[in-house]
Structure 1
C-alpha cells in the first residue's frame, strides 16, 4: 500500500493530492450530513390513510390559523365612541332655521291675501327647505303640513318651535348612538303627540320635524377604534406547528387541513427545501478551508504532509461512520444514546499519529458534525449539548497525551476522559429542565464512562492499523520501543553493555538538542537506543565493549578492521528490518554515520599504502535525511570523543563540539537534510550544556583514617 501511495505521490505531486484530498473530505462530510439537515419527507396523498404517525420536524408558523385568530379577536373589539355635545346645538339651529323660513313665508302671505299667492309661497318655502330634504336624514314636509304650519298664528307657531326645541334638547343632551336613533325618534314622536303646546292640526308636521332632529350624537371614533383593532391583532401570538407535534396519526385520514400542515412543515415528497443544503455547503466550505490552513502550517515535507492528510481523512470517515451507526439505532431508544459515542477517539488518533494542532482541528470538526447528525429531537438543527460533550472530551485527551509519554498510557487517559464525560453529563442533567428518574440518570452516567473507555480501546486497536497502512510511527509506538524489556534492547544490554551505555548517553544528548529546535526528541531518543545494534554481531571489536581484553584490531590489518567497523551500520539496519521495526528507526541505524570517513584506520592504512583510496574507508550511508538523524550523528561522534578526553573541561568540550560540527559540515554530511546553521548553533549550545552537566568537576573527599 505504501509503495502504491508513493507512486501516486510521485505522479500527481503534493499540491494536486492536497486539493483532491480536501475535496474528497468535503464530499464525505457533505454526504454523511446531508440527510441529517434535509429532514424526512413522506409520500402521502389527500384523503388516504396515513401508514405511520408523522410528527413535525420543526416549529413553523401557521399563517392561515394566525390570521383567523387575529380576525376573530378584531371583530370582538368594542368600538370606541365619542360624545359630541355640539350636535344638539346644531340641530337646534336647524330647527330655528326651519321655523325662520316659516315665519318669513307667513309674513309674506299676510301681505298678499290671494290664494295663488299662498301656493306660491309654499312652493318658495319648499325651495328654501330643499337643502334639508336632501340631507342625510331627509326632512320631507308635505304641502298640507306646510299649509297647516302657515295657518297658525305667530304665537302658536312660536310655541310649537319652542316645544320642539325643548324636546330635542332633552333627548340630545344624552348620548344617542346609531342603533338607538329609531327608538329615540319613536319616543319623541310620542311626546309630540301628547304635547299640549302643539295643536292637533300640526301634530303630523311636528312629528316629522321632531324625528328629523334626532340624529346620533355619540359616534364611533374611527381612528381610535382602528388603533385598538391593530393593537389587538398585533398582540395575537402566531399560531405555530411545534417541533414534535403529531400532525397525523397512523391510520388517520389525511384531510385538507392535515395535508396543509404537512406542506407547511415541508414534509411532503413534492417539496425540497434547498436552504438547509446550502447552509451545510457553507459549513463544509469553512471546515475544508480550516483543514487547508492546518495542513499549510505543517513544517513537515510534502510526502509526510500527504500521509497526514490521508490519516485525517480516514479518521474523520471512521468517526462519521460511527455517528451514522449510532444515529441509525437511536430511534429504538427513548433516551439520548449519543453519550455513548467514543468522544476522544478522533483526537487521540490524530494527536498520536500527527500533531496537536491537527488533533484539535479534527476534534472541533467531529464535534460540529456530531451536533448536526446526532440530533435528540425531531428537527434538523444543531445539538449544542452533543457538540460540547465531544469537544470537551476530545480536548481533554489531546492535552493529556504528552509527547514524551509522561501521560502516554491510553488507559489512564481514557479514565480521565470518562471522568470529564461524567462531569459534563452532570452539567447536562442539572441545567436541563427535564425530570429524570434514577434509571435514566444511571444510564447517562454509564454511557459517559463507556464513551471514555471505548475511546481508548478503539484508539489502541486502530493504531497498529494506521502505523502499518501509512507507515507512521506514533508516540505510543515509540514509548513501547523505549521499554528496556524490548528483546532487542535486552540483546544490546546483555551482549554489548558498553554500547548500551553509550547509546543512553547519545540519546540524552540527541533528545535535548531536538527539543531545542522543535524536532521530535522522542524519536531521536528511541532511535539512539537501537542505532548501534549492529555492534552485537562482533561486540569485542568496538572499544566501549573492550573491558579487560586485548584490542583485537591490534592484530588485524587496517582493511579488515575497516570492514568490521563499517559493517555495523548496514548490519544494524538489516537486523532492525528483520524484526519489523519502523522505518524511522531503521533509517537512524543506516544513516547515523552518513558517509563519513573512518579516519583512524584510513590514516593507519595510508601509512602502509600512501595511494590508498579514501572512499573505501567511508560508511555506505546514505547521509542523514532528517534533522533528528543529523543531531544523532553529531551526538554519536561527540559522546565518544568527550568520553576519551582526559580531565574534560567546559572549554575543551566547547572546542570539541565546534570541531565535530565543523568537520561534518565541511564533509557535506548535512547536505541532504533541512537543518539550518541557526539550528546547529542551538544544538551546539545544548550539547555543551548537557555534557558539562555529565562531566562536571567533582569534589574530592578526603580518605578515611583509622
Structure 2
C-alpha cells in the first residue's frame, strides 16, 4: 500500500494531466450538437463530386425556409379579425334617443317635420350599429375579413371597412342628414348623438392570434416524398435549387435517424474519440517541443481552459443564432497563447481549436478556412503586444482578411455580389473590436494563473520600481553592472530572435541578492577596504555563492514572477568561484569543487543562457588593461568557450550558430564601450 501511495505521489503530475484531459474531452463532447454528420459535402450551384447518390430510405422533401415564410405571410394576410359585441348597447342607445329627442327638438316643429327628423335619427342609429362601432381607431386594412362574436357565438361577418370607427360617426350622421335633406339640423343632431352614441365592438386580440397560430400550425413543412433507391443526383451534375433542397432534406432526415436511442452511444463514442485525439495531439506537442510548459500543470490547465472556453462561447452563439458566429473573437486565443508562451504553440492550439469548432458551426469548411487564415495573420502580425498601436494595427489587418476571404467565398457560392449580406461585414468589424479585449483579459489571466506577459515585463523593467531603487541605494555598483548587462543581453537577444524584453528584465534583477552583503562584491567597494581579507577562502566563496539564494528569497518576497526568478537561479549555472577556489588550492592539495560552486541549475533557455554570457563578459571586462580590438575578441572567445567546455549550455535550446552571433554582438559592444578617444589639448 505504501509503495502504491509513493507511486501515486511520484506520478501525481501525470495523473493530474490525465484527469484534466478526460474532463476537458467530456466537457467539449457535451457541448457538441447532439446529431450525426452527413457524410457528403455539397454546395448550391456546384457539381456533385461524389458517386451517383440513391435514396437510402424513404423521406419527405422539406420545404425551403422562404416557401414556409411565404405561406405564413399569406396566412397572416388572409387571417380573420375577431371582435366582441356588447348587444346591450344598441337597445340602450335607442331608448335614450327616444327620451332625449324631445329635449333637443321643440314642439313648435310641424308634425310632419317632427316625424321626418325622428325617423332620420333612427336611420342614423341603425346605420351606426348595423355592424357596430369600434371602441378605438384600429389600424387594419379595409379589406381585412372580420367576424363579430356575440359571446362565443358568431353573429355576423364582413370586412373591416364595414365597421364604424369612432372618428367616422359624424360622417355617418352627415350622410343620413344629406339624404333626408336635413343638413340645416346638423348641429342639433351632432349635439344629440354626441352624448348618446357608445361603441359596442372591442377587438379580441387573444382569440384572433389563437386562430392564426392554429392555421400556421397546419402548414405542411414537406412537399412530396422520395422513395428508397430513387436516383437523387448523378456524379458531376450541378446542384440546382430543387436538387439542393432534396439533398438538404436527405441530410436532415439522415442526421435525425442517425442520432437515436439505438446508436446514441456509438455516435457519442465517435465524437469522444475525435475530441480526445485532438487534445492528445496538443499534449504530445507540449511534451515534444515545450517540455517546460508540459511539466507545469498550471500552464497546461491554462491552455485547456482557454480551448474549452472558446468552444463554449461559440456553442452559446450558435445555439442563439448561427448568423452571429463570426462575432466571436476566435483570434484572441492565439494572441493570448503568444503573449504567455510563443507563436508556434499559439498557432498549433488555435488550429486544433478551430478543427473542433468545425463540428458545431454551419458551413464548417468556410468557417475553418477563415479562422485558420485569420489565426496565421494574428501570429505573423502581432508583435510586442505591450505596444498599444501594434494591437490596433493587427486587429485591422485581421478584420480585413476576414472580409476579403468571406467575400471570395460568397462569390464562389452565389456567382455574383448582388445578394451579398453586407451585415456579415459588420459582424467581422465587431469581432475585431472584441479582439481588443485581449489586453484586460491578459491582465486577468496573469492574476488568476500567475503567468507573465510582455506587458508585465515592461512594468518590471522600470528602474524606478521599489526593488530596483533599493538595489541602487544599497549596492550602486551592482545596479550599474545590472544596467550594463541588461543592455548587452537585450542586444544579444535581438540578434538571435530571443525574447529581448524578458532577458532585459532578468538582467536587471539577476543580482538583487547582493543587497544582503553589498560590500563583499568588488563593484560596491568604494573605500578600498576588502572585507574578504578577514575571511577564509571557503567563507568568502560561501558569501559569494549565497547571493543567488538570497536573490531568490528577495524576489519571492517582492512577488517577482517565476520567469524572472529563473534568471537569478541560473545566471551562474554550476560554475566555480574561481578566484577563491585557486586561493584554497594554494593552502590545501585536496579541495572539493562543490564547496566553491554555485548551486545551479544550469541555464535552460536561450534567454537564461544569454544572461550567463553577458553577465560574465561584463563583470570580467572591468579587469581588461589597455583594451584593443584583438584583446577584446580573445577575451570574449575565452570566457564563452570556457562556459561551453563546462557544459553550462547543455540544457538550453541554443545553437552554436546563435552563440557565435552573440559573441559578435558582445565584441562589437565592448569595442564601443572601451573605444579610446583622442586626447584634447589643455
On the 8 A contact 1:363/1:395 being kept in 2, the answer is no
Match of 1:242 among 245, 253, 264: 245
User: CA-to-partner distance for each residue in 1:88-109, whole Å, 9 max, x for gaps?
Assistant: xxxxxxxxxxxxxxxxxxxxxx
Q: CA deviation at 1:572?
A: 1.3
> CA, structure 1 residues 50+512, in 2 after alignment: closer, same or farther (shift >3 Å)?
farther
State whether structure 2 residue 572 is matched by structure 1 residue 582: no
- 1:358-400 deviations in Å (ceiling 9; x for gaps): 211222233344444244xxxxx5262x434433443333223
C-alpha deviation, 1:639, in angstroms: 1.7
Work out whether 1:382 is the aligned partner of 2:358. no
- Structure 1 CA distance, aligned partners of 2:574 and 2:648? 10
The answer on whether the counterparts of 1:63 and 1:239 sit within 8 Å (CA) in structure 2 is: no
Residue 354 of structure 2 is aligned with which of 362, 367, 387?
367
Partner of 1:454: 437
In 1, the alpha carbon distance for the partners of 2:223 and 2:309 equals 35
* 2:32 maps to 1:33: yes
**What does 1:306-385 correspond to in 2, within 5 Å?**
309-330=300-321, 336-375=323-362, 381-382=363-364, 384=366
Residues 1:592 and 2:575 aligned together: no
Map of 2:226 onto structure 1: 63
**Cα distance in 1 for residues equivalent to 2:238 and 2:535:** 107
In structure 2, C-alpha distance between the alignment counterparts of 1:294 and 1:235, rounded to whole Å: 43
Provide the TM-score with structure 1 as the length reference. Answer: 0.56
Decide which moves more: 642-651 or 478-487: 478-487
Alignment of 1:243-262 (within 5 A): none
Residue among 381, 405, 423 paired with 1:400:
381
| Cα drift, residue 344 of structure 1 | 1.5
SS in 2 for 1:551: coil
Structure 2 unaligned spans of 5+:
1-5, 39-213
CA 1:360 to 1:264, structure 2 compared with 1: closer, same or farther past 3 Å? closer
How far apart, in 1, do the equivalents of 2:309 and 2:418 lie?
34
Matches within 5 A, 1:456-535: 456-466=439-449, 468=450, 472-511=451-490, 522-535=501-514
Structure 1 residue 242: deviation in Å? 3.5
Does the Cα contact within 8 Å between 1:350 and 1:358 map onto a contact in 2? yes
Work out whether residues 511 and 525 of structure 1, in 8 Å CA contact, stay in contact via their aligned partners in 2. yes
Query: Shift in Å at residue 236 of structure 1?
Result: 13
Indicate how the Cα distance of structure 1 residues 296 and 622 shifts in structure 2: closer, same or farther if over 3 A, else same: closer
Shift of 1:63: 1.4
CA distance in 2, matches of 1:354, 1:427: 28
* Conserved? CA contact 1:18–1:306, under 8 Å: yes
Q: Is residue 667 of structure 2 the alignment partner of residue 691 of structure 1?
A: yes
Q: Report the 3-state secondary structure (helix = DSSP H, G, I; strand = E; otherwise coil) of the residue aligned with 2:379.
A: helix
Q: Of the candidates 604, 622, 626, which is equivalent to residue 643 of structure 1?
A: 622
Is residue 291 of structure 2 the alignment partner of residue 300 of structure 1? yes
Matches within 5 A, 1:223-238: none
1 CA distance for matches of 2:7 and 2:490?
33
- Per-residue deviation, residues 14-45 of structure 1 (Å, max 9, x unmatched): 6x887776666555444332436569xxxxxx
Cα deviation, residue 422, structure 1: 5.6
Report the Cα distance in structure 2 between the residues aligned to 1:557 and 1:623, rounded to whole angstroms. Answer: 27
Contact map agreement 2:314 2:328 (CA 8 A) in 1: yes
Q: 1:126-173 CA distances to partner (integer Å, 9 max, x unpaired)?
A: xxxxxxxxxxxxxxxxxxxxxxxxxxxxxxxxxxxxxxxxxxxxxxxx
Query: Is residue 37–residue 277 contact of structure 1 (8 Å, CA) maintained in 2?
Result: no
Q: For residues 347 and 8 of structure 1, what CA distance do their matches in structure 2 show?
A: 34
CA distance in 2: counterparts of 1:525 and 1:426, whole angstroms: 40
Q: Secondary structure at the match of 1:373?
A: coil
Looking at CA atoms only, which structure, 1 or 2, has the larger radius of gyration? 1
* 1:592 and 1:633 in contact (8 A); partners too: yes
CA gap 1:534/1:303 in 2 versus in 1, 3 angstroms: same
Q: Does 1:544 align with 2:523?
A: yes
Matches within 5 A, 1:109-258: 242=245
- Looking at structure 2, the residues matched to 390 and 236 of structure 1 have their Cα atoms a distance apart, in angstroms, of 27
1:193 matched residue in structure 2: none
Aligned equivalent of 1:182: none
Which shifted more, 455-464 or 353-362? 455-464
Partner residue, 1:11: 11
- Distance (whole Å) between structure 2 residues aligned to residue 235 and residue 481 of structure 1: 63
Q: For the Cα contact (< 8 Å) 1:509–1:690, is it kept in 2? A: yes
- Structure 1 window deviating more from structure 2 (427-436 vs 440-449): it is 427-436
Give the direction of change, closer, same or farther, for the CA distance of 1:437–1:680 in structure 2 (3 Å limit): closer
Match of 1:35, SS state, is: coil
| CA distance, structure 1, for counterparts of residue 333 and residue 251 of structure 2 | 42
- Return the alpha-carbon distance in structure 1 between the equivalents of residues 13 and 436 of structure 2: 40
Task: Kindly state the Cα deviation for residue 654 of structure 1 after the two structures are TM-superposed.
Answer: 4.0
Match of 1:206 in 2: none
Once structures 1 and 2 are overlaid, which stretch shifts more, 631-640 or 281-290? 281-290
CA distance 1:419–1:663, shift in 2 (3 Å): closer
Is the 1:642–1:648 contact (alpha carbons within 8 Å) kept by the matching residues of 2? Answer: no
Give the secondary structure class of the aligned counterpart of 2:34: helix
Deviation at 1:355, TM superposition (A): 2.4
SS of the residue corresponding to residue 62 of structure 1 reads: strand
Change beyond 3 A, Cα 1:522–1:624: farther
1:565 counterpart = 2:544: yes
Provide the rounded CA distance (Å) in 2 between the counterparts of 1:398 and 1:695.
37
Q: What is the distance in 2 between the residues matched to 1:461 and 1:655?
A: 49
Deviation digits for residues 206-241 of structure 1 (CA, Å, limit 9, x no counterpart): xxxxxxxxxxxxxxxxxxxxxxxxxxxx99989668
Instruction: Tell me, in whole angstroms, the C-alpha distance in 2 between the residues paired with 1:55 and 1:415.
Output: 52
Describe the shift of the 1:284–1:601 C-alpha distance in structure 2 as closer, same or farther (beyond 3 A): closer
Residue-by-residue CA offset, 1:262-297 (whole Å, 9 max, x unaligned): 968847986878898798678647745753664465
Report the alpha carbon displacement of residue 576 of structure 1 after superposing the two structures with TM: 0.2
Tell me how far apart the structure 2 counterparts of residues 263 and 33 of structure 1 sit (CA, whole Å).
19
Change over 3 Å in CA distance of 1:418–1:271 after alignment to 2: farther
Report the Cα offset of residue 342 of structure 1: 2.0
Contact 1:499 1:532 in 2 (8 A): yes
In structure 2, the CA distance between the partners of 1:424 and 1:7, relative to structure 1 (3 Å rule), is farther
Q: Structure 1 residue 633: deviation in Å? A: 3.1
1: distance between equivalents of 2:252 and 2:669? 79
Q: Is there any run of 5+ residues in structure 1 with no aligned partner, and where?
A: 1-5, 40-48, 70-233, 248-259, 376-380
Cα contact 1:339–1:451 (8 A) shared by 2: no
Superposition RMSD in Å: 5.1
Kindly tell me: are residues 38 and 493 of structure 1, through their superposed partners in 2, closer, same or farther at Cα, counting changes over 3 Å? same
TM (norm. structure 2) is: 0.57
Q: How big is the shift at 1:534? A: 1.6
Counterpart-to-counterpart distance in 2, 1:476 and 1:237: 54
